[in-house]
Amino acid sequence: MSADEKGLLTAAFEALGPERVTRGLEASGHSWDDCFLALAISGEPDVLAQELGTRWRKERIISARLGVRVEVLNAVVRTWDHHEGTFRALAAEWLELNGTAVPTGPVVGA
């Protein structure tokens, strides 16, 4: 992962804050129904997807809501979808630096 990509993800984590990053790491899916951002923002599956409905510029809506550039949000989506292990490791590192307990993976059977 490049320093630029790491910077974009860190910006997203800072905008979300430790509680929402921790909640997002409970995700196991890769759609707007159950991805990292869906759980981080809404706290439960399907809520964000329903809120976004059929809008075709979902990234722009969410980036405005979080107060980050679309580029930051795209980095989150891309890394979560294609390099989830790396994403989780960086999020865990960020949470440790912010004094927060770190989940190790999605909650199974909950």
Task: Give mean pLDDT, residues 88-107.
Answer: 78
pLDDT at 21 over 70: yes
pLDDT at 74 over 80: yes
User: What is residue 105's predicted lDDT score, i.e. its pLDDT?
Assistant: 57
52 vs 28, more confident: 28
pLDDT-derived band at 104 (thresholds 50, 70, 90) equals: low
| Cα→Cα distances 52→1, 44, 49, 55, 87, Å | 30, 14, 5, 6, 24
Least Cα distance to 74 among 29, 34, 19, 37 occurs for 37
Task: Give mean pLDDT, residues 4-21.
Answer: 95
Q: What is the pTM of this model?
A: 0.81
pLDDT at 31 over 90: no
Instruction: For residue 40, give both structure tokens.
Output: 């981080």
